[in-house]
Structure 1
Amino acid sequence: MGNPIEGCWHCDPYWVNNRNILADCGIGFDKNAIRVTRQDKISLSSYADGLIDTIMGSTAITISNNFFTHHDKVMLLGHCDVYTQDIKMQVTVAFNLFGEGLVQRMPRCRHGYFHVVNNDYTHGEMYSIGGSANPTIHSQGNRFLAPDNRFQKEVTKPKDLIESNWRSMGDLMLNGAFFIALGAGASSNYAKASRMAKRPSSIVGSITTNSGVLTCTQSLITKGEYISNLILKFEA
């Protein structure tokens, strides 16, 4: 299943003037279970609640190549601590640029398995990766730049965790940033939270340079439609 919002704006150069219509397209996008989808090349900021919420048994989700700025609670993965259907959730958060004005939840995870890989955290005011209800979080090849405040150097925020598994591998920690690992780290758990090959954290800046929405031109649309048709034919 693809991103239903994409079909609403893909060929409409005036979508920015019709935000209410765009919002109507997305009704139900984060409700009930969504399986196998990708949220890619989006620029998001300044909304009422979370910028991206993946909840209610959704799984096989990839959130990639996006640009986030100026928001408090950025990304929620998992409905609530008592909603155990999210225990099968698998989400990959990759190649995103977390820019200025962000506070927390990049992402915040509940239950499930989460691969956070090759993201660039350039500004953070509270924490980057949080979680509760015993998630497995595999952080790989990210770049974390801590704020100057000496009380805000930890990039993780665990809560009420007993059987969680959190680990950091190949992350680049700048300006005193640090990651607190949790759990025994069973290989079977991390196998479910390792859905994408990581690249070195030293090149994260170049990977995320073009994160966010693309400039829409007729040539890009035509090329995109051609590729989409090829994919559809291949899957058929």
Structure 2
Amino acid sequence: MSALSLTSLVILLYVSTAYSARLLPLESEATTWSSRGGGSLRTQLDEVSCRTGNPIDDCWRCDPDWETNRKVLADCGVGFGHNAIGGRDGELYVVTDSGNDDPANPNPGTLRHAVIQDVPLWIVFDHDMVINLKEELTMNSYKTIDGRGFNIQIANGACITVRNVSNIIIHGVYIHGCVPTGNAIVRDRPDHYGMRGMSDGDGISIFGGTDIWIDHCTLADCDDGLIDAVYGSTSITISNNYMLNHNEVMLMGHSDDFLADKNMQVTIAFNYFGEGLVQRMPR
């Protein structure tokens, strides 16, 4: 399966030698501005000193009120996935419960309950969390998982599936130890659940997804791929991520014979391909 030989697959590949992603979700690194507006010399100097040259980070981090203005992130994307707005037009959903994962009937306050809703949601967290999923986390459209400000881990269990949905942003999450799960009932919308077959054990699996942006995540040690985009997925940006300790890192298109992948468009920018990686960077 030499997916990169697809003649119309477009990948823009930039590898940043200066590691701009971090192992843990980021706090603001903005300097203190002397004023929010105006043209004072101090304001101009502080803004310049904050900038890194990374267009994604420079778009939001220099705002000392970034935590209040979280949704600005949705306008900071680059490349083929830049139209992904996630949950920008919806309410904030605060995840308060890192346990009690019930794949068939998710509990309010859990990440699983948030991602299956039928309305746009910008999902944030109220404390550091290690989330152990019993079955794959199947996302609904127009969702942002925003881990900024806390150490948010999805670890040592099932991980994330983006299947036939659009407008997904995943930012600032540490995803590791993903394993195959399945042959179980999983709810993917408030009014729908069904039997899921076995998953592959990917960190993030994208099947037929469009307008997807994965940014500033750390991914490691999964059974299959760290990020796989297949079955007609397109309009994707994978940026500022740190990937390490893994064999098959990233798969773009699962087969040369699958025509729906012919026009796949993916931007891979400012990522750090770290220690312990073997192959598919990307394939």
- TM-score, normalised with respect to structure 2: 0.46
**What is the CA distance between 1:67 and its match in structure 2?**
0.3
Q: In the alignment, what sits opposite 1:179?
A: 281
Q: Distance in 2 between matches of 1:59 and 1:118?
A: 19
SS at match of 1:3: strand
Letter in 2 for 1:145: L
Q: Distance in 1 between matches of 2:115 and 2:271?
A: 30
Q: In the alignment, what sits opposite 1:77?
A: 162
Q: In the alignment, what sits opposite 1:185?
A: none
Q: In the alignment, what sits opposite 1:197?
A: none
Alignment pair present for 1:2 and 2:97? no
**1:120 aligns with one of 202, 218, 221:** 218
Cα-to-partner distance string for 1:5-62 (whole Å, 9 max, x where unaligned): 54xx6xxxxx97x878x94426964445221321435421141x21x3212xx21523
Q: Distance in 2 between matches of 1:157 and 1:96?
A: 21
Is the Cα–Cα contact under 8 Å of residues 146 and 177 in structure 1 kept in the other structure?
no
Structure having the larger proportion of residues in strand: 2
Q: Distance in 2 between matches of 1:28 and 1:138?
A: 25
Is the Cα–Cα contact under 8 Å of residues 112 and 135 in structure 1 kept in the other structure?
yes
Aligned residues with identical type, % of pairs: 4
Q: Distance in 2 between matches of 1:2 and 1:139?
A: 24
Q: In the alignment, what sits opposite 1:106?
A: 203
Q: CA 1:2 to 1:33, structure 2 compared with 1: closer, same or farther past 3 Å? A: same
Q: In the alignment, what sits opposite 1:53?
A: 138
Q: CA 1:42 to 1:2, structure 2 compared with 1: closer, same or farther past 3 Å? A: farther
Is the Cα–Cα contact under 8 Å of residues 237 and 268 in structure 2 kept in the other structure?
yes
**What is the CA distance between 1:126 and its match in structure 2?**
1.0
**What is the CA distance between 1:90 and its match in structure 2?**
1.4
Q: Distance in 2 between matches of 1:2 and 1:155?
A: 31
**2:118 aligns with one of 26, 30, 33:** 33
Letter in 2 for 1:137: I
Q: Distance in 1 between matches of 2:106 and 2:123?
A: 18
Letter in 2 for 1:125: D
Can you give the 5+ residue segments of structure 2 that lack an aligned partner in the other structure?
A: 1-90, 181-200
Q: In the alignment, what sits opposite 1:166?
A: 266
Q: Distance in 1 between matches of 2:268 and 2:116?
A: 31
Cα-to-partner distance string for 1:54-79 (whole Å, 9 max, x where unaligned): 12xx215234252011114x10123x
Cα-to-partner distance string for 1:65-100 (whole Å, 9 max, x where unaligned): 52011114x10123x4xxxxx3xx212111111233
Alignment pair present for 1:62 and 2:145? yes
Is the Cα–Cα contact under 8 Å of residues 96 and 120 in structure 1 kept in the other structure?
yes
Q: Distance in 2 between matches of 1:115 and 1:61?
A: 9
**What is the CA distance between 1:180 and its match in structure 2?**
2.6
**1:134 aligns with one of 217, 221, 233:** 233
**1:44 aligns with one of 131, 134, 154:** 131
Q: CA 1:177 to 1:23, structure 2 compared with 1: closer, same or farther past 3 Å? A: same
Higher relative contact order (CA 8 A, sep 6+): 2
SS at match of 2:92: coil
Structure with the greater alpha carbon radius of gyration: 2
Q: Distance in 2 between matches of 1:19 and 1:129?
A: 23
Q: Distance in 2 between matches of 1:124 and 1:137?
A: 21
SS at match of 2:93: coil
Structure having the larger proportion of residues in helix: 1
Q: In the alignment, what sits opposite 1:229?
A: none
Q: CA 1:145 to 1:31, structure 2 compared with 1: closer, same or farther past 3 Å? A: closer
Is the Cα–Cα contact under 8 Å of residues 178 and 202 in structure 2 kept in the other structure?
no
Matches within 5 A, 1:140-159: 140-147=239-246, 152-156=247-251, 158-159=253-254
Number of residues paired by the alignment?
155
Q: Distance in 2 between matches of 1:39 and 1:53?
A: 17
**What is the CA distance between 1:125 and its match in structure 2?**
2.4
Letter in 2 for 1:69: A
